Structure 1
Amino acid sequence: MSKLVLTSCLQKCSSLNTVKKSHAKIFVCGLQNDNNILNQIAIFYVQFKKLDTARLVFEYISNPSSYLWNILIREYATQGNFRQSLALYAKMMQNGFKPDKFAFPFALKSCAGLANLQIGKLVHQHLVCCGCDYDVFVNAALVNMYAKCGNVEDARVVFDKMSVRDLVSWTSMISGYAQNGYNSETLSFFYLMRDLGVKPNRVSVLSALLACGNLGASRKGEWFHSYVIHTGFESDVLVATAVMDMYAKCGSLDLAHKLFDQTEGKDVVCWSAMIASYGFHGQGRTAIDLFDNMVKAGVGPNDITFTCILSACSHSGLLEEGKRYFEAMKGFGIVPKLNNYSCMVDLLGRAGQVSEAEKLIENMPMEPDASLWGSLLGACRIYDGKK
């Protein structure tokens, strides 16, 4: 089979099986070192979601096409393998390939996913040098990266310089403000976006509801609840959960529970939020009842649910119940995470069992963080380290 015939066959590949057959034929034809054919083979593997195989082929290509570099960086980022995406981006630079407007958004997405501001700033320098700092999609990714890394000031600088701002840019700024505690700015930006005719999406609505809850702004929260109903977001379980959580944070726990009861298709996030709400208001027994009802309803708890119930037990002084739920995690196949251990240390510390809390820390399979040590030190101050 000639190179021309094989190339023609590659263009007609419509399934993974035909790609594999064509891949095998390149060895038979002695074309295993042909850059153009290997590029096509690797691209097909990416299209058929065989990223590992595509990467193996890629490593044998002496001169990969810019398109192949870009789609590999994109696919790793899209699949959440941010480290591999950035490793490939770095290799692209080292090999003398110039990134373009198609590579930068996904390199920045990976920086955002890893919350790596240092590398994010480096990518920012690269894209300026490459003349891509005026591309709307690159700038939207920049805003998102800075916001996700907690640097809302630089995100705002990039946003203000944009001549065209799309929904992604607006949403990145709004969610960035919300996630970093700039609650008033979150709401101001939401109103401004809406007034300029940009239709809010799910993420921006969730961010606004979070800000209302954090501010305890019940009047504004009621407006957003009305907005959710009129725009059809009410059927979204995550948005319904955010409305419920907002009312609970504003002190309207009964209304929050009423909305919880009305929500159809309640998932583990919805149940966990309601459990957390009762725990926050010191109603540990009600939180426990809700947890048990969730299990009876066939909704399996996760580590976040256990963080909520353990926190509820801690705030209500329910030591034995908290111990029981911590042990119950194993029965659900859940390995306790740092937050779960932190709740248990807080629970034991509040109950005066400082020695047991210290022993728990010593036997943890991970390194304790500053907040966990803070909980233990707080208990030591209260009980003078005698228990």
Structure 2
Amino acid sequence: MMMHAYLLKTAYIYMLPVANSLLANYASQPFGGSASASKLFDDMPLRDHVSWTSIINAYLPALAQALRLFRDVHLGTSLHGLVTRRGLHVDVFNANSLIHMYSEGLRLRSTRKVFDSIANKNGVSWNTMLSGLLGKKLAHPLCCRSVHAVTVRKLLLMASVLLLNALLDVYAKCGLVKHALRLFRRMPFLNRNLISWSTVIAACTRNGKPHEAITCFATMREAGQRPNSITMLSLLEACANRAEMRASRCAYGMVLRSGMALEQGMGNTLVDMYDKCGDLAEARRVFNAMLVKDVLSWNSMIGALGMNGRALDALALLGNME
């Protein structure tokens, strides 16, 4: 702002390249730059296409954020059209915001058009595109493999953990567990974070591969990675699907030691796990220890009793619920 004040006091405000340089500097600032850019732009007696490009770039992130909040795709399309007709440059940051906006509005063709127009795509570009497809259930197995092939050719997999995790998630949601596992095994070991491990374990669990999920969890622990509640929920579900008592008890022990047993979702999953393993006494003990029970908690316990020939106990518990 000191430089701005100096320009106003001198004749330099009439030198367009100098004013444009300061305007571009304001436009590039992440916080508070748009207000300063607007003030300078209003004070400029002369403006050219560089001036207009800078002022639009200053406001486009804020507008894109507003559009994400209000989901006004029509307004966003008008703004994008104005920028395009004027031949103004949209940098990769603003293009990523447009990709997010169009995907939120289910404008798949526009989303892909903006994505293809980015000359230097970064990890955020790919992640936003994939997340948009996945979030709106527009992902297709062939599309997943095509995007993966492109990222391999561009060597982006070595540079972006976000992109790797997004691809893992897309493969999992498309039911392509083999592809997810292959991608995960090819990831540099240091690039595997908790999200990577949890995504693969959940993918195996939800796609009929509980043994692979348990094995992957054991490998994760050997690698020194600590699980969170999401990881543990997937492990408990895998143990329940296998109905393996030894693995279930080991998993329960880890839940107790981690202090996650008091979480409501964890308790419900534990009841379901012990039910499928045929240990009603342990399921009932976990149920009784739960501090907060929701409808799912009661239904799980009542269903466990009923399915194991304990109809009277199920009815009694139903009476307690009411």
- State how many pairs are aligned: 286
Cα deviation, residue 230, structure 1: 0.4
> What per-residue deviation string (whole Å, max 9, x for no partner) do you get for residues 89-142 of structure 1?
411244364532221123233444425322222222332343312233322222
1:52-97 CA deviation, whole Å, 9 max, x = no partner?
Answer: 35734334322322111223445777xxx4945x555411244364
* Gap runs ≥5 in structure 1: 297-387
**Residue in 2 that maps onto 1:264:** 291
Structure 2 match to 1:67? 93
Q: Structure 2 vs 1, CA of residues 59 and 254 (structure 1 numbering), >3 Å: closer, same or farther?
A: farther
Please say if residues 305 and 311 of structure 2, whose CA atoms lie closer than 8 Å, have aligned partners that are also in contact.
yes
Answering whether residue 178 of structure 2 is matched by residue 156 of structure 1, we say no
What does the per-residue CA deviation read over 1:317-374, in whole Å, with 9 as the maximum and x for residues that have no partner?
xxxxxxxxxxxxxxxxxxxxxxxxxxxxxxxxxxxxxxxxxxxxxxxxxxxxxxxxxx
**Structure 1 counterpart SS, 2:188:** coil
Residues 182-331 of structure 1 mapped to structure 2, 5 A cutoff: 182-278=209-305, 280-281=307-308
Higher relative contact order (CA 8 A, sep 6+): 2
1:41 aligned partner: 59
Distance, in Å, in 2 between the alignment partners of 1:283 and 1:55 is 60
More helix by share: 2
1 CA distance for matches of 2:56 and 2:312? 63
Task: Tell me whether 189-198 or 236-245 shows the greater mean CA deviation.
Answer: 236-245
TM-score (norm 1): 0.61
The alpha carbon displacement at 1:51 in A equals 5.3
In 2, Cα distance between equivalents of 1:105 and 1:83: 17
Unaligned stretches of 5+ residues in structure 2: 1-7, 14-18
The farther-off stretch of 137-146 and 196-205 is 137-146
Query: In 2, Cα distance between the equivalents of 1:13 and 1:192?
Result: 43
Mean CA deviation greater in 160-169 or 254-263: 254-263
- Given the superposition, is the C-alpha separation of residues 238 and 95 from structure 1 closer, same or farther in structure 2, using an over 3 Å criterion? same
Classify 1:261/1:174 alpha carbon distance in 2 versus 1 (closer, same or farther; 3 Å).
same
Secondary structure of the residue aligned to 1:50 is helix
User: Is 2:71–2:105's contact at 8 Å kept on the other side of the alignment?
Assistant: no
1:92 counterpart (114, 119, 141): 114
* Matched-pair contact (CA < 8 Å) for 1:112–1:146: no
Counterparts of 1:59 and 1:52 in 2: how far apart (Å)? 17
Q: 1:96 to 1:168 in 2, by over 3 A?
A: closer
Q: Does the CA contact (< 8 Å) of 2:264 and 2:293 recur in 1?
A: yes
Mapped to 2, the partners of 1:74 and 1:118 lie a distance apart of 22
Code of the residue aligned with 1:55 in structure 2: it is G
In structure 2, give the amino acid aligned to 1:145. V
Alpha-carbon contact 2:274-2:283 (below 8 Å) kept = yes
Q: Percent identity?
A: 26
Q: Aligned to 1:55, which of 71, 76, 79?
A: 76
Paired AA for residue 106 in structure 1: T
Rate the CA distance shift 1:280–1:55 in 2: closer, same or farther, 3 A.
farther
TM-score, scaled relative to structure 2:
0.72
Q: Distance in 2 between matches of 1:45 and 1:275?
A: 52
2:165 equivalent to 1:130: no
Q: C-alpha distance in 2, partners of 1:168/1:276?
A: 33
After superposition, the C-alpha distances for 1:261-298 in whole angstroms (9 at most, x for unaligned) are: 3212334443444354345446677667766765x5xx
* Counterpart check, 1:101 vs 2:126: no
Name the CA shift for 1:11/1:185 in 2 (closer, same or farther; >3 Å): closer
